[in-house]
C-alpha cells in the first residue's frame, strides 16, 4: 500500500473529526499506522474495520467495529481515548490502556439492534438510531448516511 493512501485517509479523517468536534491523536505517525491497518482491513474484509481488533465471521457481524466504531464515544467519555488511541480528548493519557468494551460474542452485540424497541407504541414512523453517534431519525427507512457523523445506512438500528 502506498504511503499516500494512508496519508490521504488520515487527512480525510482529520478534517471529518475537526468538523464534528472530535480530535485525532496528535502523534501523526501513530495515526497513520492505524489508518494503514484500516485500509488493509478494507482490502481484506471489505470493511474499514478497527485496526486493533480481529474481524471474524460474516461482514455484517463486524459493522460495530467499522471505524469510527460503536464504542468510540463511550471510550472517549470514560478514558479520554478510543480503544486504539486514534481518537482522543484533552483527558488523553498515553500511559493509560483502554480496555475493549466490545462484547466478545456476536450474540452479545445484537443488543443494540433491539434496544428500545416497543417502548412507545402508536408512532407513525419507526425510529432509527445511528450506532456511532446516537442520532435518531423517525422515517420509514434509515437515512442513507448519518447527517451528523457520516456513518453509512448499515450502521443504523431500529430503536423504536
Q: List the one residue from 10, 22, 79, 83 that touches ligand SF4 (CB under 6 A).
A: 83
Whole-number minimum distance, CB 74 to ligand SF4, in Å?
A: 10
Q: In this chain, which of 87, 128, 156, 159 binds ligand SF4, going by CB under 6 A? A: 87
Q: What is the DSSP string of the chain?
A: --HHHHHHHHHHHHHHHHHTT-EE-S-HHHHHHHHHHHHHHHHHHSS-B-TTS---S-GGGGGGGBSSPTTHHHHHHHHSB-SSSSEE-TT--TTSPPP--S-SSHHHHTHHHHTTTTSS---SS-EEEETTT--EEESSS--SB-TTT--BGGGEEE--
**Among residues 9, 24, 63, 67, which is the contact residue for ligand SF4, using CB under 6 A?**
67
- Closest distance to ligand SF4 from the beta carbon of 122 (Å): 37
Please tell me whether residue 82 binds ligand SF4 under the rule CB under 6 A. yes
Q: Which stretch binds ligand SF4 (CB under 6 A): 39-47, 65-73, 112-120, 147-155?
A: 65-73
Contacting positions for ligand SF4 (CB under 6 A): 34, 50, 52, 65, 67-69, 72, 82-84, 86-87
Amino acid at each position: 500500500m502506498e504511503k499516500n493512501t494512508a496519508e490521504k485517509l488520515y487527512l480525510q479523517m482529520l478534517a471529518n473529526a475537526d468538523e464534528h468536534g472530535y480530535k485525532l491523536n496528535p502523534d501523526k505517525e501513530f495515526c497513520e499506522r492505524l489508518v494503514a491497518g484500516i485500509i488493509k482491513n478494507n482490502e481484506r474484509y471489505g470493511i474499514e474495520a478497527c485496526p486493533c481488533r480481529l474481524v471474524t465471521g460474516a461482514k455484517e457481524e463486524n459493522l460495530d467495529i467499522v471505524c469510527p466504531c460503536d464504542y468510540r464515544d463511550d471510550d472517549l467519555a470514560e478514558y479520554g481515548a478510543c480503544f486504539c488511541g486514534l481518537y482522543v480528548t484533552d483527558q488523553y493519557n498515553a500511559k493509560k490502556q483502554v480496555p475493549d468494551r466490545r462484547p466478545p460474542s456476536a450474540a452479545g452485540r445484537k443488543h443494540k439492534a433491539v434496544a428500545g424497541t416497543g417502548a412507545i407504541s402508536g408512532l407513525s414512523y419507526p425510529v432509527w438510531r445511528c450506532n456511532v453517534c446516537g442520532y435518531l431519525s423517525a422515517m420509514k427507512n434509515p437515512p442513507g448516511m448519518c447527517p451528523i457523523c457520516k456513518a453509512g445506512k448499515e450502521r443504523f438500528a431500529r430503536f423504536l
